[in-house]
């Protein structure tokens, strides 16, 4: 079912500082910040030869990552995003197998303009999983 690793996400309290760390100290190519209000985050992408790092900070007053950033003030690895051929078929199969699909279970458009879903970390080895339509 899962295919390519699309990105690894790191949640931070200060996206500007994190961008400086990646663009300056680590010499990486980092995109401009992009507010994704319906997901309650502001994101930048670090382009790597074989995948991407998504740096994200909470946006708005009900961000789903606010709790995580509070618990991890220095930042932390937040989720892994895998690509799937058919996000609806993947969702239905995962639900049938008892996995918890977060939110209302309907894919929402993510930072790449494609449908995404999230799976509860407790069902996947303690790691929050994002599925993105390939």
Ligand X SMILES: CC[C@H](C(=O)O)C(=O)SCCNC(=O)CCNC(=O)[C@H](O)C(C)(C)COP(=O)(O)OP(=O)(O)OC[C@H]1O[C@@H](n2cnc3c(N)ncnc32)[C@H](O)[C@@H]1OP(=O)(O)O
Active site residues: 130
Residue 10 binding partner per list Co ion, ligand X, none, with a CB distance cut-off of 5 to 8 Å that depends on partner kind: none
Answer for the pair 79, 5: CB distance below 8 angstroms, yes or no.
no
Beta bridge partners of 11: 56, 76
Residue 113 binding partner per list Co ion, ligand X, none, with a CB distance cut-off of 5 to 8 Å that depends on partner kind: none
CA diameter of the chain: 46
Q: Which is nearer to ligand X, 24 or 29 (CB)?
A: 29
Residues binding ligand X: what is the number (CB under 6 A)?
24
**Location of structure tokens 């407790």:** 122
Q: Which is nearer to Co ion, 46 or 81 (CB)?
A: 81
Q: Which is nearer to ligand X, 26 or 127 (CB)?
A: 127
Burial class from Cβ neighbours inside 10 Å (0-12, 13-18, 19+) for residue 26 reads exposed
Q: Which is nearer to ligand X, 21 or 55 (CB)?
A: 55
Task: Show the site string, 101-130: x = touches Co ion by CB under 5 A, - = not.
Answer: -----------------------------x
115: contact with ligand X by CB under 6 A: no
Q: Provide the 3-class DSSP secondary structure of residue 129.
A: strand
87: contact with Co ion by CB under 5 A: no
Binding residues vs ligand X (CB under 6 A): 9, 36, 39, 41, 43, 54, 56, 64-65, 67-68, 78-79, 81, 102, 110-111, 116, 118, 121, 126-128, 130
């Amino acid at each position: 079912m899962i295919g390519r690793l699309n990105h690894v996400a790191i949640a931070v309290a200060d996206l500007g500082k994190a961008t400086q760390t990646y663009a300056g100290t680590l010499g990486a190519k980092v995109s401009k910040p992009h507010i994704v209000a319906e997901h309650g985050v502001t994101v930048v992408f670090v382009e790597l030869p074989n995948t991407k790092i998504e740096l994200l900070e909470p946006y708005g007053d009900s961000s789903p990552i606010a709790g995580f950033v509070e618990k991890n003030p220095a930042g932390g690895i937040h989720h892994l995003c895998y690509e799937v051929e058919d996000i609806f078929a993947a969702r239905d199969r995962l639900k049938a197998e008892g996995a918890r699909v977060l939110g209302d279970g309907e894919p929402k458009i993510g930072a790449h303009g494609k449908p995404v879903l999230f799976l509860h970390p407790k069902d996947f080895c303690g790691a929050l999983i994002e599925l993105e339509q390939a």
